[in-house]
Amino acid sequence: MAVTIRKADYFSMLIPNRAGTGAGMLAALKAESVNLVAFSGFPVRGGAQVDFMPENSRKFRAAAKQAGIKIGKRKTVFLMRGEDRVGVLAAALGKLAAARINMVAMQAACAGKGQFGAIFWVKPNDVSRASRLLGAK
């Protein structure tokens, strides 16, 4: 399987950093059959930031509204996946570096059965250029 990179929508918001807050949000989305292609959460400024990357943004927005979840504006993230091998991230990161595009953040993990997945962000002004450079759909 070749490495694929595609753009996806993501919605970021600040929430209280209290036990069960994120779980409640995920349960509300599950109740509305919202599939997430990725999710990220981490502490920030006394609270927590959560980033939702839904398979279907329209369905996600409707479910969030129904659950009273105030979501942030839609932004773009890159999703990368493929066969796991030594240095698999280096080619894409090298292309961005050579073009002087700064990667804001990245999270990657082995997905089992020889596969990996990663999500990464670039500055909004660099999304189009990074997309062309990486062949992201």
Is the model's pLDDT at 117 over the cut of 90? yes
CB contact burial 53-91 (16+ within 10 A = b; e otherwise): bbeebeebbebbeeeebebeeeebbbbbbbebeeebeee
Please write the tens of the pLDDT for every residue from 37-70: 999 999 998 999 999 999 999 999 999 999 999 9
Whether 9-73 shares its CATH topology with 76-134 is answered yes
**Residue 2 pLDDT:** 86
**What does the domain layout of the chain look like in residue ranges?**
9-73, 76-134
Which one is the CATH code of 9-73: 3.30.70.260, 3.40.50.300, 3.20.20.70, 3.40.1190.20? 3.30.70.260
Over 70: is that where the pLDDT of 1 sits? no
CATH fold of 76-134 reads Alpha-Beta Plaits (3.30.70)
Q: Is the pTM higher than 0.85?
A: yes
* Mean predicted lDDT score pLDDT of the chain: 94
